[in-house]
Chain A
Amino acid sequence: MDALLESLTTIGRIFFDVEKMSQALPIVLSAFPVSVFIGVVSFVLAIPGGLLLAFMKMARTRVVRWPATFYVDVVRGTPLFLQILIVYFGLTLLPFYQTLIREVPQLKQPFLFGIDFTIYLRAFFVLSFNSAAYMAEIFRAGIQSIPKGQMEAARSLGMSTPQAMAFVIIPQTVRRILPTLMSEFILLFKDTALLAAVGVAEMTLRSREFVASTFNQSAYMVAAAFYLLVTIPLGRLVGRLEDKLAESEGGGGAKRPPTLLAPEIDAEHVVAHSEGIPTTGSSPNPITGGPR
């Protein structure tokens, strides 16, 4: 009994030291906007890229399809961490990048939250290019989940294919993939932590610095709390959106598949991801609720 109490106290001291936590709080808090900013901007930038890749993958001609397939396979088939290392250190070696820095020295000035713009630039670059590959599959599966009759009805009314896409197919796709897309954001947001390894002063790096100087793990718990502050409410929202979607798709005249996306896509996505996702836990959809 005493031994148990003792080990609990030890765990408490190592991980949940109140004093250390309160010291770490302002430090992690100051890095919180960095993580959120990088996550949000990269996510937004990934959307057009993902759409483009999705349309390329659905193209009739192989010449268009092939590069997109190659890109998606390579990006999803290699570790994000490796991609981060390549971009962070490789990009700076490229002549065009060096010219850019020389011509626009302001890029090296502190931008937001005391971090220079080239750091953000590389973070956006690698995360959005990575996320676009995952989004491509989400968009493609979403678009293809819309019944064929929708396109036919639109075309039979005289709409062009782009018009039918813009006013009939995409609006329905957006509603359908919104939960999945939000889950993708959750994954991306957590992935910003990997940037700690290349010196981006986001939450994980700042807490690691604190841990290193205090020999106490408590700062990590503070960081964890801040990640959860974003991921848990978003995860709940995902679950709610899915329920609402299931409810509202009762009509429309055409039969719909019971799950959001085709099963083979789910399997692919799950295999391609490699770490856990703390979302609703009750989500029936392997993409939105599954491991990455």
Chain B
Amino acid sequence: MSDQAIVRINDLRKSFGDLEVLKGVDLEVTKGEVVVILGPSGSGKSTLLRCVNRLEEPTGGEVWFEDTLVNDKKTDINKVRERIGMVFQSFNLFPHLTAKGNVMLAQQKVLKRDKATAAEVAVRQLTRVGLADKIDYYPAQLSGGQQQRVAIARALAMDPHVMLFDEATSALDPELVRGVLDVMRSLAKAGMTMMVVTHEMGFARDVADRVVFMDEGVIVEQGTPSEVFDNPKSERTKDFLGHIA
């Protein structure tokens, strides 16, 4: 195991009642790596991401974040989550706060940054995602793409060591997808460690260091984008890529 590993998942299992959704997943993400997770709907991709910051409680196996066993009852999960940014399909911006307020809140309440610092960071991060002119807008006044970029800025403001993206562009109108993907692309270029669940094959091909294909709760195949896209070994992968293309 590399000591550069930021996320290390060993034999991860998760059941909802009788339904076993993750059936022993092993995955390691090293610093600066962009791992794109592909797979059909219901294969457990979201559940996998949500186990990393324990939004779902694993039923078996281990999830490590840096030196911390995430799924240990004794772990202060809030300390872990401070450093794991998550971006949701449905944005989940706080509708009662402006874009700036959204980005400031956790900085102040969790990282205990003073107001001026939090505001400064908020403006910087919102500028970074191309929303310098929208800082005082409420979510309801923004397009879906803009909202998602605020959500990214909100996560980035916490100085995360890894970012989780769960179908960040799936709820967007096609013409708004580009802007969000561009932000993710530039993040990757800047060296951010990322775990990305997406159906954007172009993005996966261009940006991923590694592509992981999941089906029915297991990792079926993984490799570089060209290995997986141009030379898939598993029938299931071929099948899936055939359907997408």
Contacts and interface: CB of A to CB of B under 8 A. Distances in A.
Same complex origin of A and B = yes
Interface of A: 147, 149-150, 152-160, 163, 167-168, 171-172, 175, 248-255
A149 B147 CA distance: 14
A153 B88 contact: yes
Given A158-B81, A158-B106, A172-B95, A252 B140 contact: yes
A167 B108 CA distance: 11
A149 B55 CA distance: 11
B96 interface: yes
A151 to B, nearest CB: 9
Q: Is the interface of B mostly helix, strand, loop or mixed?
A: mixed
B154 interface: yes
Interface string B157-192: 010000000000001000000000000000000000
Contacts of B158: 157-158
5 contacts: A157-B158, A168-B105, A248-B138, A250-B140, A254-B90
A152 B154 contact: no
A157 B154 contact: yes
Contacts of A255: 90
A149 B109 CA distance: 19
B139 A251 contact: yes
B78 A150 contact: no
B142 A157 contact: no
Contacts of A253: 90-93, 95, 139, 144, 147-148, 151, 171
A150 B53 CA distance: 16
Contact of A149 (B53, B85, B88, B155): B88
Q: Give the residue among A156, A250, A252, A254 with the most B Cβ atoms within 10 A.
A: A156
Contacts of B139: 251-253
B94 interface: yes
A175 B78 contact: no
Given A149-B90, A254-B90, A159 B95 contact: no
Contacts of B86: 153, 156
A137 to B, nearest CB: 23
A251 B138 contact: yes
Nearest to A170: B96
B93 A158 contact: no
A157 B95 contact: no
Q: Which of B78, B79, B90, B95 is the most central at the interface, judged by chain A CB atoms within 10 Å of its CB?
A: B95
Contact of A175 (B82, B84, B96, B141): B96
B110 interface: yes
Given A251-B139, A253-B90, 5 more contacts: A155-B81, A172-B96, A253-B91, A253-B95, A254-B91
Contacts of B90: 147, 149, 253-255
A255 B89 CA distance: 12
Contact of B110 (A158, A172, A254): A158
Nearest to A254: B90
